[in-house]
Amino acid sequence: MGSIWTQTASYDRWLLIEKAACKAWSDEGLIPKSDLEKLSKSTYDISILDEVLKDTKHPMTAFLKSMTAHLGGEGRWLHHGLTTSDVWDTATAMQLRDSAELLLSEVDRLTEVLYSTASKYKNTLMMGRTHGVHAEPITFGQKLAIWWDEMRRHRSRLVSAKDMISVGKLSGPVGTHATVPPSIENSVCKQLGLEVAPFSNQVIQRDRHAQFVTTLAQIAGSLEKFSTEIRGLQRTEIREVEEPFGVGQTGSSSMPHKRNPELTERICGLARLIRGHAVTSMENVALWHERDISHSSNERIILPDSCIALDYILDLMTHVISNMTVHVDRMKLNLEQSHGVVFSQGLLLSLVEAGSKREEAYKIVQRISQRALDENLELYDLALQESEVINALGVDRLQEIFDYNHYTRYINETFKNAGIR
């Protein structure tokens, strides 16, 4: 990913665009075939470019000078009818398109790992938590399947963002094609594998770039969500999941026992960085008139940074999911620490179905549930002591209610409907 965003990589794409434009002009009959043959073999000289740039303070004029320095009269055809943004924005589109291809491969890797891990733990019961408080049992596989499905949606978003940004523009200083006809623009974009921006002024419109960066920020936001959950489950009091911790690795300079979730914390930190870049990309949409340069400086940072950072944390997240330690015994222990109050809704609904008024049944179940938690008693035992409960349900039905299998009875159907074996 980093190689896509080096300065040399930008110049290499500028060179492709300039050569493609020369070919297009030659096909139109303007540039002689003999000149095109020489131009097609030309390149830029980085030493000349850097030296000229010191004086011109303009990368494009320095770039062109570094090419014409080694050409004869045919050099006059370079950049014919074009403006800097024709080359710059089209090259940036190529970089973003190529970055999206790499990001899609990383999204696919993570999605595949989530799929296999969700399938593995499909029936592994654990405590579901809302507001950080015990709610009802879920399975660890269900949690991962939710993440898998989320990444599938992100793939669709990224494909859309890739399509949106994969457009070139060679329409001249203010987009009127006054100096470069649409036929040249069409030819160059076709040679480069890009679509043509239907309308442009001096630049490709920045709503496209904003969609791209905000899509990256959305993906990063989900990675932060996954990481935050793993960090929470790694807390000593819970300790149901731990991120990979290598042999010889240390977690603290002062406390040898520490195994900190530093990988997932790193993902969270970089996700925030990308989210900040998304705000900047949206600020870039509103340029003055046909273009100003306020977007250019920050795009040199936010575009490569967002692509590189997301590429990195996608790879890191795949590593975490692939190699995390899942403490199934702790999941079971934490379930049992609820003293059975997780069955409170099942008990409530059963009483209602047996004929009890909902409000009265709710008060009974709430009262004995609170007592179970406060006095470390089992809800099942307390329910046995309630005449209203036993008269309505009986002992056999009560035993059926307090069965963890109740929470996994539809898991196979749900996974099958979603496409997970």
Is residue 249 predicted with pLDDT exceeding 90?
Answer: no
Q: Are residues 140 and 207 in the same domain?
A: yes
Rounded Cα distance, 107 and 296, in Å:
28
Least confident of 134-143, 253-262, 291-300, 304-313: 253-262
Mean of pLDDT values over 292-311: 96
Q: Are residues 153 and 236 in the same domain?
A: yes
Tell me how many degrees the CA angle 308-312-315 measures, rounded to the nearest 5: 140
CATH of the domain at 376: 1.10.40.30
Q: Which pLDDT value is given to residue 192? A: 98
Mean of pLDDT values over 259-273: 96
For strand 125-130 and strand 195-196, is the pairing parallel, antiparallel, or unpaired?
unpaired
How many domains would you assign to the chain? 3
- Tell me how far CA of residue 146 lies from CA of 83, 94, 140, in angstroms: 48, 33, 10
- Examine the fold and report which residue of 293, 313, 334 is the final residue of a domain before the chain moves on: 334
Q: Are residues 107 and 248 in the same domain?
A: yes
Is the pLDDT higher at 299 or at 254? 299
Q: Are residues 326 and 347 in the same domain?
A: no
Rounded Cα distance, 24 and 185, in Å:
8
pTM of the model: 0.94
CATH of the domain at 13: 1.10.275.10
Q: Are residues 315 and 377 in the same domain?
A: no
Owning domain of residue 380 = 341-401
Q: Are residues 289 and 352 in the same domain?
A: no
Q: Are residues 177 and 251 in the same domain?
A: yes
Whether residue 378 contacts residue 339, with contact meaning beta carbons closer than 8 Å, is answered with yes
User: Catalytic positions, please?
Assistant: 131, 252
Q: Are residues 256 and 385 in the same domain?
A: no
Q: Are residues 255 and 283 in the same domain?
A: yes
